[in-house]
């Protein structure tokens, strides 16, 4: 009987890890996606990145407190999420949401609501 408990526990641990946030799917099961690729954004072609995120991952746009979510375009600070209205989905390779702790580590002070990193062609 002991032999069965260890493999079942290992399977359970692996299953829970596979469901962790930060995966690449923009839609489907469970928590919020942390990355949207060009493939994930394809259904929104012709629109702006703001519209795509507002539809697929609205929580990325939510400020926490007085500090807005910051947008970074190709490694440079662009501004607040309203700037996403100026980016066409067709130009985006990847959009990634950073939790506040990760945004603080990556970009420093002033990222208390997180950040959205956008990489364009």
**pLDDT over 50 (residue 70):** yes
Delimit the domains of the chain by residue range: 22-120
Question: d(Cα 60, Cα 57) in Å, to the nearest integer?
Answer: 6
Poorest-pLDDT segment among 29-33, 36-40, 112-116: 29-33
Q: How confident is the model at residue 66 (pLDDT cuts 50, 70, 90)?
A: confident
Overall average pLDDT of the 17-38 stretch: 54
The CATH architecture to which 22-120 belongs is: Beta Complex (2.170)
Poorest-pLDDT segment among 5-19, 41-55, 69-83: 5-19
Question: d(Cα 18, Cα 48) in Å, to the nearest integer?
Answer: 31
SS3 content of the chain, % helix, strand, coil (to 5): 45, 25, 30
**pLDDT over 50 (residue 77):** yes
Neighbours of 114 (CB within 10 A): 23
Report the SS3 class of residue 87.
coil
Range 64-68 contact pairs with CB under 8 angstroms and sequence separation of 24 or more: 64/100, 64/112, 64/113, 64/114, 65/112, 65/113, 67/110, 67/111, 67/112, 67/113, 68/113
| pTM of the predicted model as reported, rounded to 2 decimal places | 0.73
Neighbours of 35 (CB within 10 A): 16
Distances (CA, A) of 19 to 15, 23, 55: 7, 8, 22
């Amino acid at each position: 009987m002991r032999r069965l408990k260890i493999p079942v526990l290992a399977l359970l641990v692996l299953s829970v890890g596979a469901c962790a946030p930060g995966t690449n799917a923009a839609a489907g099961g469970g928590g919020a996606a942390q990355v949207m690729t060009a493939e994930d954004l394809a259904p929104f072609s012709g629109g702006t990145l703001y519209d795509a995120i507002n539809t697929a991952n609205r929580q990325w746009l939510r400020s926490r407190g007085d500090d807005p979510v910051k947008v970074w375009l190709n490694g440079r600070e662009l501004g607040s999420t309203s700037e996403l209205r100026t980016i066409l989905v067709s130009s985006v390779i990847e959009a990634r949401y950073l939790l506040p702790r990760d945004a603080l580590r990556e970009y420093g002070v002033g990222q208390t609501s997180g950040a959205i990193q956008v990489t364009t062609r």
